[in-house]
Structure 1
Amino acid sequence: MEKEEVEKFLHEKVEKGEHVSPVLPKGVKNYLIDIDGTITEDIPNEEPERMATCKPFPDALKTLNKWYDEGHIICFFTSRTEAHREVTENWLNEHGFKFHSMLMGKPRGGNYHWVDNHLVKATRYKGKFTDLVDKKVTIQVFKD
Structure 2
Amino acid sequence: MSPVRKKRFYMVLLLLTGVSIATFLIIQAFSQNMMFFFSTTEVKQGKAPADRDFRLGGLVVNHSVQRESGSLKVHFELTDSQTPVKVEYSGILPDLFREGQGIIAKGRLNDQGVFVAKEVLAKHDENYMPPEVADSINKAQLASSEPVQP
Structure number with the higher strand fraction is 2
TM-score normalised by length of structure 2 = 0.29
Query: Which structure features the higher share of helix residues?
Result: 2
